[in-house]
Amino acid sequence: MSSIEPTGAPRQDAKAQDKPRKTRKIKTTKDVNGVPQEIEIEVEDVDGPRWGERKELKLLNTELRRVDGPVKVTGRARFTHDVRLPGMVYARLLCCPYPSAEVEIDVKAALALPGVEAAIVLETKTRFLGQPIAVVAGRTSDHADDALRALKVVYKPLPWAVDRAQALAEGAPNVRKNGNQGKPGQNGDRAEAEAAVAGAAAKLEATYGVPVQHHASLETHGVVVDYTGGEEATVYISTQSTFAAVEQVAELLGLKANQVTCVVEYMGGGFGSKFGLGSEGAAACRVAKELKKPVHLMLRRPDEFVMGGNRSGNRVKYKAGMDKDGALVGLVAEAERFGGLGDGAMARPPYIYSAGKTYSEVVAVYTNTDSSRAMRAPGHPQSSFGMEAVIDELAYQLGLDLLDVRKKNLRDKVYHRQLERVAREIGWFEHPHRTKPGPNSGGKETGIGFGISTWGGGGSGGTECDVQIAGDGSVTVSVGTQDLGTGSRTLVTAIVAEEFGLALGDVVARIGNSRLPSATGSGGSTTTGSLSPAVKDAAWNAREAFSAHLAPLLKTDPALVRFAGGKVFSQANPNVTMTWKQASGTLPNAGLSAHGKWDKDRAAALMGNGVHGAQAAKVEVDTLTGRVRVLAMVGIQDCGLPINRLAVKSQLNGGMIQALSYALFEERVIDPVLGIALNANFEDYKLAGPSEIPEMTALIDDDDPRNAVIGMAEPAVVPGHSAIANAVHNACGARVRDLPLTPDKVLAALGRIA
């Protein structure tokens, strides 16, 4: 029988028996008189879990199809919206149609309708457009809709401010108690920065802005609260943190945290907007507590748009200067963030670039609109847009190559490598407009633009995991994490399968339940860095325990037991093998169970922090109509060791698509006079569709030497819109300084319309 190449992390060879060994204890299960009990066993204490050499990996660092793909495409995946329970009622929210108002609500007529079970007033004075003011519930969704229509509501609109102009106008109503502006955050010496700009060879003074953007998750916010008045409750929720809602639900229902179970089976995205229970969840709990019945409450799309969160907009006034060689010598940035009732987010200029003397001032401007929430790379796309434009505009003044100027102002040489790669892929070195924009010809012109990104992507403590091996050979990995649609099920399955030399389909993942081992929330690209080390630790501990169990049967040392290709053997004698099922069949009735967790010391070798990315876009601009068509986008991203290369590429492609949509279409529009949202639906809030998606190339930076996992979903969305805007300028000289790049703005920049 030929030998089988081992898989998984390399382990130390067995030492001579006369040499002392360092050992450690791990927990596992064993049958004691037919009863499964947790015991501790001693195993050799090697350096701890490692991913192993990339060339030895069989599943990790390959392209893996999603394990949950079949249940999703066949409609068997149960989302929160799909949950149906006996005796369940359907709830609806009434949201205030004014940005600020006093409200009187009479619920008697609604409660008198057949099928209506509850009508509760939530607020009598509102501070933002879309604030929930009442909740109703009926035996069917139609009954709930009837109840909404039957509410007698009297609105007394109050003065409001829904945009920058209104908020900063003289005599504007106070949005927050202390006014409509936060305390400015300042950094650097203004006088020194101003002097550096004044003495520069090329100078620029310009203002750039990005609008408020919606998360536009396919699944809206919502919950099903299963509470019937007893001492326990279950909440089915679309959330990015399975465990975060438990305490909130317990408090609202008057229960202890251990009496509440949170379930997240499948969910349709969040992009940062779905942390915590939310006002919709609190309203559902209130109805459930009153009726002692299960309550189903999912936001309708118009309500989602006005109360479900958003990416804050911003406006930045730049003064910048470069020397004759293209080095930024001075930068002054005065930024305003538009986060509604919240503070918004913005990475501080000059963002990733280096500059000699810098000064930045950032202030929040408050409005009577929903508070912004985290959205994929919060604060970074806003800062990227202006800074990438500043680099281009100054480079054109000096007649320098846009790529060379970027490298000149980037100390981290990883960006040099990545920019050159995307430049080659997009055709930059053959492009005719590398040092000056193309002509305003009246015809169609082609341009290329660039952008870069950064992010942390590391993990943190709080995640634990169990791995179980049954006597029939089945393997289960259990962790309470949620899968937003990013592939967490596949990730945990692949790590365990790799450890035991099994196929992906040989391992089953149990996730999305607060009764499972604890896990952190999914946000900030920390899921991979938090989840992977805990799963690897559990799988490693399970392998150590299984190796100790099998060693006597294989007549070998536990350190020499190997798992590969669905077989188990000794490295000392690979020709003597057992199948996985045979090996599992030797386990006690309880099988084998091992626990793992994110431990700072052990995780240090498994996860990293800090990623780089670069993107390039090629566009076609019709200089007669102002229409912009994106022809191609190329992105490259490092992430250490990719667990699933297909998932990494999908994240990069998805980020570029979202950035394209942000560049060309997306913008929340609220009428400042009427105070109403004009595009709170998918018909009027424009998103990129299939016909707008260009040729896309997603590249993994395999020159990254780090053999550790790092999250990369956030930075994938950061630079694409900037690259597209720069490409439009490069094509025909049209510099649009406020997104989105609509035809009228392009024509105005070309001087074809006023």
Instruction: Name residue 537's beta-bridge partners.
Output: none
Q: Under a CB-based contact definition with an 8 Å cutoff, are residues 754 and 748 in contact?
A: yes
pLDDT at residue number 15: 41
Q: What is the CATH number of domain 313-457+608-749?
A: 3.30.365.10
Q: Are residues 509 and 539 in contact, defined by beta-carbon separation less than 8 angstroms? A: no
Give pLDDT, residue 48: 85
Fold annotation for 83-158+221-298: Aldehyde Oxidoreductase; domain 3 (3.90.1170)
pLDDT for position 46:
60
Q: The sheet that has 233-237: what strands, in order across it?
A: 116-121, 132-138, 89-95, 295-298, 222-226, 233-237, 260-263
Residues of the chain falling short of pLDDT 70: 1-39, 41-46
Domain map of the chain by residue range? 23-75+459-603, 83-158+221-298, 313-457+608-749
| Confidence (pLDDT) at 22 | 57
Closest to 726 measured CA to CA, from 20, 10, 202, 208: 208
Instruction: Convert the pLDDT of each residue in 387-422 to its tens digit.
Output: 999 999 999 999 999 999 999 999 999 999 999 999
Residues 6+ apart with CB under 8 A from 73: none
pTM for the complete prediction?
Answer: 0.94
At 731-748, the pLDDT tens digits run 999 999 999 999 999 999
Residue 595 contacts residue 708 (beta carbons within 8 Å) = no
**Is the distance from CB of 161 to CB of 173 less than 8 angstroms?**
yes
Question: Three-state DSSP class for 369?
Answer: coil
In this prediction, residue 47 carries a pLDDT of 74
Is 566 within 8 Å of 501 (Cβ atoms)? yes
- Fold match flag (83-158+221-298 vs 313-457+608-749): no
Which fold, 23-75+459-603? Aldehyde Oxidoreductase; domain 4 (3.30.365)
Please report the sign of the dihedral spanned by the C-alpha atoms of residue 252, residue 257, residue 258, residue 261: positive
